[in-house]
Amino acid sequence: MITDIDWQLIGISFITVFLAEIGDKSQLAAIALGGSSNNPRAVFIGSTVALILASLLGVLAGGTVAQFLPEKLLKSLAAIGFATMALRILWSEQ
């Protein structure tokens, strides 16, 4: 039902995923495939379906894990994971 839709959560999810995807490897791969293909529409459809499937798997996995772990612990683990990735990026030698 339309009244059951959490528009704020949809907006936050969209913004988060959109910003996370800008300039990542999958976008660069789509750019390369689209530029070297005679059918960029097929590249668009393929990359869109792949992102949807990856998101679906993430949501299903998150929902399953959330049934077994308290919300506070789950958020703490996510925060630690993101902080660890950020520190590794900052301290990686290039």
pLDDT at 53: 95
Under the banding of pLDDT at 50, 70 and 90, the label for residue 1 is low
Domain ranges of the chain: 2-69
Under the banding of pLDDT at 50, 70 and 90, the label for residue 67 is very high
pLDDT at 2: 58
Task: Report which of residues 58 and 92 the model is more confident about.
Answer: 58
For residue 3, pLDDT over 80 is answered with: no
Residues 6+ apart with CB under 8 A from 47: 26, 29, 30, 33
